[in-house]
A and B are shown apart, each in its own frame.
Chain A
Amino acid sequence: MRVDALLNESSAAPDAARWRWLSYGYALLVAIGVAYFLLDLPIQVTDCYGNMVKAAKGTLAELVSGEFHQQSYLRPIGWAQLRILLDVSGGRYFEWFRGWHVAQIVVLFVLFLRLIRPRSLAGAAVVPLGLAALIGIHTFAGTVRESFPVNMFLMVLICSFAAADLALGPPRLWRDVAAALLFVFATLSVESGILVAVVFVAAFMVGARGVSRVGVAMQVLLVIGYLVLRFSILHIGSPGLEERTSGFGFSRLDPSALIEKFGTHPLPFYAYNVASSLLSIVLSEPREGVWVATRDVLRGDVRVFQIFNIVASALGTALIVRYLWRRRREWLAFRFDRSDQLVFIFLAMAGANATVSYAYTKDMILATAGAFYAAALAVAARDFIESMSGLSMARAIAPMLFLVLLSSAWALRAVNAHMGLRIAAVKVRTEWAYVDSWLERNPEVLSEPGAGEMKRHLQEDAVRKHPLRPRLAGRWVEWFND
Chain B
Amino acid sequence: MTDTRSTMVLAVGVAAPIVLATIAVLAFSGLEIAGHTPSAIGPPRNIAEAVGMGSPSEVLRLLDFGEDPNRVLPVRREIISSAIMRVTALEAAVWSHHREMMELLDHRRAIVDADTRRHLICLTKDVGDADILAYLSGGREVECEHGRALALVEERSKKREQDR
Instruction: Write the residues of chain A forming the contact surface with B, with a CB cutoff of 8 angstroms.
Output: 3, 7-8, 10-11, 26, 29-30, 32-33, 36-37, 120-122, 124-129, 131-132, 381, 384-386, 388-393, 395-396, 399-401, 403-404, 406-408, 410-412, 414-415, 418, 426, 429-430, 432-434, 436-437, 462-464, 467-474, 476-477
B1-40 residues at the A interface, CB under 8 angstroms: 1-22, 24-26, 29, 32, 37, 39-40
**20 examples of A-B residue contacts, CB within 8 angstroms:** A29-B22, A32-B29, A125-B15, A385-B11, A388-B10, A389-B7, A393-B5, A393-B6, A403-B10, A404-B16, A407-B17, A411-B20, A414-B18, A414-B25, A429-B55, A429-B56, A430-B56, A468-B43, A470-B41, A473-B39
> CA of A8 to CA of B5 in the docked complex: distance in angstroms?
10
Listed from nearest, the 7 A-B pairs whose CB atoms lie closest are A433-B56, A125-B11, A429-B57, A411-B21, A128-B18, A470-B40, A400-B13
Known: A128-B14, A389-B7, A414-B21. 12 other contacts (CB 8 A): A7-B4, A7-B5, A11-B2, A26-B19, A33-B25, A389-B4, A411-B17, A434-B104, A437-B103, A463-B57, A467-B58, A474-B39
Which secondary structure dominates chain B's binding surface?
A: helix
Known A434-B100, A436-B107: A472·B1 in contact at CB below 8 Å: no
Does B42 reach chain A (CB closer than 8 Å)?
yes
B41-100 residues at the A interface, CB under 8 angstroms: 41-43, 53, 55-61, 64, 78, 100
> CA of A36 to CA of B41 in the docked complex: distance in angstroms?
20
Instruction: Check if A407 sits within 8 Å of B10, measured CB to CB.
Output: no
Residues in A whose Cβ lies below 8 Å from that of B39: 472-474, 476-477
Give chain A nearest CB distance to B17 CB in angstroms: 4
Residues in B whose Cβ lies below 8 Å from that of A433: 56-57, 59-60, 104
> CA of A462 to CA of B4 in the docked complex: distance in angstroms?
53
CB nearest neighbor in A for B18: A128
Instruction: Check if A404 sits within 8 Å of B58, measured CB to CB.
Output: no
Instruction: Check if B107 sits within 8 Å of A396, measured CB to CB.
Output: no
Known A401-B13, A415-B21, A437-B100: A120·B56 in contact at CB below 8 Å: no
Give chain B nearest CB distance to A43 CB in angstroms: 13
Residues in B whose Cβ lies below 8 Å from that of A414: 18, 21-22, 25
> CA of A430 to CA of B41 in the docked complex: distance in angstroms?
19
Instruction: Check if A121 sits within 8 Å of B7, measured CB to CB.
Output: yes
CB nearest neighbor in B for A397: B9
B84-125 residues at the A interface, CB under 8 angstroms: 100, 103-104, 107
Residues in B whose Cβ lies below 8 Å from that of A124: 11
Instruction: Check if B40 sits within 8 Å of A473, measured CB to CB.
Output: yes
Which secondary structure dominates chain A's binding surface?
A: helix
Give the contacting residue for B22; candidates A128, A389, A408, A469; CB below 8 A: A128
Residues in B whose Cβ lies below 8 Å from that of A418: 25
Residues in B whose Cβ lies below 8 Å from that of A7: 2-5, 8
Instruction: Check if A415 sits within 8 Å of B64, measured CB to CB.
Output: no
> CA of A471 to CA of B7 in the docked complex: distance in angstroms?
42
> CA of A131 to CA of B14 in the docked complex: distance in angstroms?
12
Residues in A whose Cβ lies below 8 Å from that of B16: 404, 407
Instruction: Check if A29 sits within 8 Å of B26, measured CB to CB.
Output: yes
Known A434-B56, A463-B60: A391·B14 in contact at CB below 8 Å: no
Residues in B whose Cβ lies below 8 Å from that of A471: 40-41, 53, 55
Give chain B nearest CB distance to A439 CB in angstroms: 12
> CA of A462 to CA of B22 in the docked complex: distance in angstroms?
27
Instruction: Check if A462 sits within 8 Å of B6, measured CB to CB.
Output: no
Instruction: Check if A390 sits within 8 Å of B40, measured CB to CB.
Output: no
Give the contacting residue for A403; candidates B13, B26, B107; CB below 8 A: B13
